Amino acid sequence: MASYEDFVDLGYKPNNKDVLASFKVKVPSWETPERAFGAIASESSVGTWSDIDIWAKYPHVKKVAGKVYSIENHGEYFWIKIAYPEDHFEQKNPSQILASIAGNVFGMKAVDSLKLQDIQFTKDIIKQYKGPAFGVNGVRKIFNVTKRPLMLSVAKPKVGMTTEEHAKVGYDIWTGGLDLLKDDENLTNQKFNPFKKRVENTLKMREKAQKVTGEKKSYLINVSAPTVQEMIERANYVKKMGGEYVMIDVITSGWTATNSLREECKDLGLAIHAHRAMHASFTRSNNHGFSMNCVSKLSRLIGVDQLHIGTAYGKLVSPKEEVLQCQNELTQSKTKQNVLEHCFEQDWGKIKPVFPVSSGGLHPGIVDKIFNLLGTNIMIQLGGGVHGHPKGSHAGAVAMRASIEAYLDKISVEEKAKNCPELKEALKTWGHSLPK
């Protein structure tokens, strides 16, 4: 006989061979909490709804079964913690970790809602993964920029420009003072802006911009593709054409694709920029889904070099605590259980820190808010906040750089604007408004 309740053992003390997961659970009125919690541990590890007499027939299965070891009752909802023996998981397979811990459980009728808040990986699992090839310091070395934030702009309109128009925008923002041009999340290999042509034309413009500015410039080229094979071919092409970066949409492309790209980039020596488009479909709700905290941890484990974590002030929902927690998970060597509730400590071993990227609805009038929240050891991206400048992309880039220099020089943007007409124009256009 094996029931869901068998997967609850409040006397269990997890050890260093257990992967731990914290869940926020709402239990339907017709369900007993203990059965609901047991159902989560069962369905996310070895069991199912019917009594398949696991323990009698297959006693060894217990060795890889999840068990609920902690329950906190908060009235309308509960926080529970589940321990999963690390042998339950295939080595170096992030997708399988999620297929267990973050798979069917979200759809079970035994819960009204379920939010996976955090996963603590064991030392052995951390050792299985490469982590970032470059990390924060390696990326800074690409640009020979040691202190200030790195400045990005994504070409807008997102999609639809011709290759020549796209490359020209790159030239404009690079000569306007920014470090990196970024492809948008949905720009890949469309007829009007084919991938290979875009790489060639834009990197040529990069060379020109480097000569004009005397500064290192680079380009986050989106290699997200119809198949992993094609994505790898695109990454190889970027390398062949002299690029330093590839960009991948980690959620829409998937964790196996991201893992494959990391594997390939080990030999190509390319840094990986991770865009998280689609994440809000499961991170946004406080009660249901898979947290941005877990997205950050998986991205670091697999080894992207840069990841979008939100702004707290821009056009997209990104609560302050979540942004700060993601920054901690990406950059600390030992993450303390701090900003977000029910997060575990995490020892990252030798895994390098990932560059946090703050982006989404930002403009020169509010960059100071981002730095006050996150500090300046970040990447900051302005798309509409550059290309929406009344005098165009080049002026928008000049204004963006000037606003960041103002912050670093500890003067107001108004003060700075006295000697920078492009910044003055940006402030006239957007002031310090928070976009919606």
Among 166, 198, 206, 276, binds ligand CAP (CB under 6 A): 276
Residue 184 is a binding residue for Mg ion (CB under 5 A): yes
Choosing from 156, 182, 308, 352, the catalytic residue is 156
Binding mask 405-424 for ligand CAP (x = CB under 6 A): --------------------
Running DSSP on this structure, what letter comes out for residue 8? B
* Closest by CA position to 230, among listed 213, 246, 208: 246
SS3 324: helix
Q: Taking CB under 6 A as the criterion, which residues in 82-121 touch ligand CAP?
A: none
Q: Which one of 275, 308, 369, 389 is the catalytic residue?
A: 275
Told to check if 422 binds Mg ion by CB under 5 A, we report no
String marking each residue 354-383 x if it binds ligand CAP according to CB under 6 A? -----xxxx------------------xxx
DSSP state of 352: P
Q: With respect to ligand CAP, which residue has the nearer C-beta, 116 or 400? A: 400
Write the single-letter amino acid at 185: E
What distance in Å separates the CA atoms of residue 47 and residue 42, rounded to the nearest whole number?
A: 5
Our finding on whether 385 is near ligand CAP (CB under 6 A) is: yes
Whether 248 and 224 have beta carbons less than 8 Å apart is answered as: yes
Q: Which is nearer to ligand CAP, 47 or 361 (CB)?
A: 361
310 binds, among Mg ion, ligand CAP, none (CB under 5 to 8 A by kind): ligand CAP
CB 296 within 8 A of CB 309: yes
- The SS3 assignment for 190 reads coil
For ligand CAP, give the closer residue by CB, 303 or 396: 396
Six token digits for residue 309: 């974590």
Q: What is the DSSP letter of 214?
A: -
Binding track, positions 294-333, relative to ligand CAP; x by CB under 6 A? --------------x-x----xx-x---------------
Q: Tell me the window of 82-90, 132-140, 184-192, 298-306 that interacts with Mg ion (CB under 5 A).
A: 184-192
Which residues have C-beta within 8 Å of that of residue 11, sequence separation ≥ 6?
none
Please tell me whether residue 310 adopts helix, strand or coil conformation.
coil
Question: Residue 89's closest CA among 148, 39, 176, 21?
Answer: 21
Site for ligand CAP in 132-161 (CB under 6 A): 154, 156, 158
Estimate the crossing angle of helix 163-175 against helix 393-408, to 10 degrees.
30
The order of strands in the sheet holding 289-290 is 67-73, 78-85, 18-26, 113-120, 289-290
Shortest distance, CB of residue 153 to ligand CAP, whole angstroms?
A: 8
* Residues in binding contact with ligand CAP, number by CB under 6 A: 20
Return the number of the residue (14 or 384) whose C-beta is nearest ligand CAP.
384
Cβ proximity to ligand CAP: between 8 and 382 the closer is 382
Q: Does residue 6 bind ligand CAP (CB under 6 A)? A: no
C-alpha to C-alpha distances, 297 to 91, 326, 346, 357, 379, nearest whole angstrom: 16, 8, 9, 15, 18
Choice between 9 and 165, CB closer to Mg ion: 165
Neighbours of 59 (CB within 10 A): 9
Please select the residue that binds Mg ion; options are 185, 264, 305, 422, rule is CB under 5 A: 185
The residues that touch ligand CAP, with contacts defined as CB under 6 A, are 154, 156, 158, 184-185, 276, 308, 310, 315-316, 318, 359-362, 381-385
Question: What is the set of active-site residues?
Answer: 156, 275
Binding-site ranges for Mg ion (CB under 5 A): 184-185
